[in-house]
C-alpha cells in the first residue's frame, strides 16, 4: 500500500465533513456574537457599524478564524478536533500556510460548502491539493507504512555491504 492508497482509505466521509462545517460555523457564530456583545457593552454604535454588520467584514473574520485555527493546530479546526479529522496534502504531509490561506479564502465562495458532497471532495480541497482524513487511522497507517519502508531500506543497505 502506498501513501495515495492510505489517503484514499482514510478519507473523511461526507457526514464527518458536514459535521465539521456545522461545528466550525456554530463556534464562529458564537464567537462573533460574543465579541459583538463585548463591543456593544463598550460602545452601542458598534453593532450598527461597518465592522460588525457587513458581509464582507464577516467573511474576512471567517477567513481569519479558519486560517489561524488550521495553522496553529496543523490542519485541525475545532470541528476537526471534535470529529477527529485533519487536513493533509496529497502526499500525506502538513499543508503550507499558503494552502491553509487558500482553503480559507475559497470557503467564502457562495455555495462552496456544498461542494464537498461531490465524490472528489470540496473545492477548498481540490483547488489546494489537500484532503481531509480520519486523523487517528491515517496516522497509524502512515506509521506502519514508514516502518515497513524502513525495513526494506535496512535490508537493501545490508545487502549492498
Compare 12 and 161 and report the one with higher pLDDT: 12
Quote the pLDDT of residue 20: 95
Query: Residue 138 pLDDT more than 80?
Result: yes
Compare 115 and 70 and report the one with higher pLDDT: 70
Averaged pLDDT for residues 70-89: 97
pTM of the model: 0.81
**pLDDT single digits (tens) 41-78:** 666 665 566 555 677 888 999 999 999 999 999 999 99
Cα separation of 68 and 122, whole Å?
Answer: 20
Q: Is the C-alpha dihedral spanning 8, 11, 13, 18 positive or negative?
A: negative
Residue 103's nearest CA partner among 133, 68, 134 is: 68
In angstroms, the first-to-last Cα distance of the chain is 28
Quote the pLDDT of residue 122: 83
Task: Decide: 34 and 51 in contact? Cβ < 8 Å.
Answer: no
Quote the pLDDT of residue 47: 58
Compare 45 and 2 and report the one with higher pLDDT: 2
Count of other CB atoms within 10 angstroms of residue 12: 24
Amino acid at each position: 500500500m502506498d501513501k495515495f492508497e492510505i489517503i484514499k482509505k482514510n478519507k473523511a466521509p461526507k457526514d464527518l465533513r458536514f459535521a465539521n462545517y456545522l461545528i466550525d460555523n456554530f463556534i464562529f457564530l458564537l464567537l462573533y456574537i460574543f465579541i459583538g456583545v463585548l463591543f456593544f457593552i463598550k460602545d452601542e454604535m458598534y453593532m450598527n457599524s461597518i465592522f460588525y454588520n457587513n458581509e464582507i467584514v464577516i467573511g474576512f473574520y471567517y477567513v481569519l478564524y479558519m486560517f489561524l485555527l488550521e495553522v496553529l493546530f496543523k490542519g485541525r479546526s475545532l470541528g476537526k478536533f471534535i470529529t477527529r479529522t485533519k487536513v493533509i496534502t496529497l502526499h500525506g504531509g502538513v499543508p503550507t500556510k499558503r494552502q491553509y490561506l487558500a482553503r480559507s479564502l475559497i470557503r467564502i465562495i457562495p455555495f462552496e460548502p456544498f461542494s464537498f458532497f461531490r465524490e472528489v471532495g470540496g473545492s477548498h480541497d481540490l483547488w489546494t491539493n489537500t484532503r481531509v482524513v480520519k486523523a487517528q487511522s491515517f496516522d497509524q497507517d502512515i506509521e506502519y507504512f514508514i516502518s515497513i519502508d524502513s525495513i526494506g531500506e535496512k535490508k537493501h543497505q545490508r545487502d549492498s555491504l
